[in-house]
Amino acid sequence: MQSEQKAIERLEVRDHVRAILRLVGEDPDRDGLKRTPDRVEKAYRYLTKGYEQDAAAVLSGAIFESDYDEMVIVRDIDFYSLCEHHLLPFYGKCHVAYLPNRKIVGLSKIPRLVEVFSRRLQVQERLTTQIARVIDEKLKPKGVGVVMEANHLCVMMRGVEKQNAYMITSSMLGRFRSDQKTREEFMGLLRRNKAI
């Protein structure tokens, strides 16, 4: 029954894309556009697959006991998302740090978490805080810091059309918020060139 409902929803999306093509003055039946409704539906399904994923579950299977208590940073995580205001892409780098409190998480899980939240309709500010909050809830670390840098096509292609403007957001929890030295260490390590 659920797969039948999904098939109906996919057809509806395709019908709406055909209608949009007509409304902007195009012929949805011309060669270049005949399969566009199908391609757009598949693309949007992929670009919003994060709605069908449980962000907390991504971390759950890979949390390990550890005595390590220094900062852990995963930087330069590429991400792509869709702006909820214009349905245009924004993309960039995400940097995540945490101070373990007897627990660490498998390295690949942090980029997977970024992927889950970025594959939803978003604003960068919410995306940044969602990532930090899930890490904080699941690991209970001494602190979490998330910094995101992104280019937004809604700024680059329309409106003010500023190609070099990009946005930086941060979410600091625990010691990253309360301890200036911890925050400065994180930001200083982000400014460094890659070690490898």
Task: Indicate which residues carry an active-site annotation.
Answer: 83-86, 124, 152, 154
Between CA 14 and CA 37 the distance in angstroms is: 5
Token output for 20: 């949009």
DSSP 8-class letter at 106: -
Q: What are phi and psi of 72, to 5 degrees?
A: -115, 125
- Strands 63-65 and 103-105: what pairing? antiparallel
Between CA 186 and CA 54 the distance in angstroms is: 28
According to DSSP, the residues that pair with 188 across neighbouring strands are: none
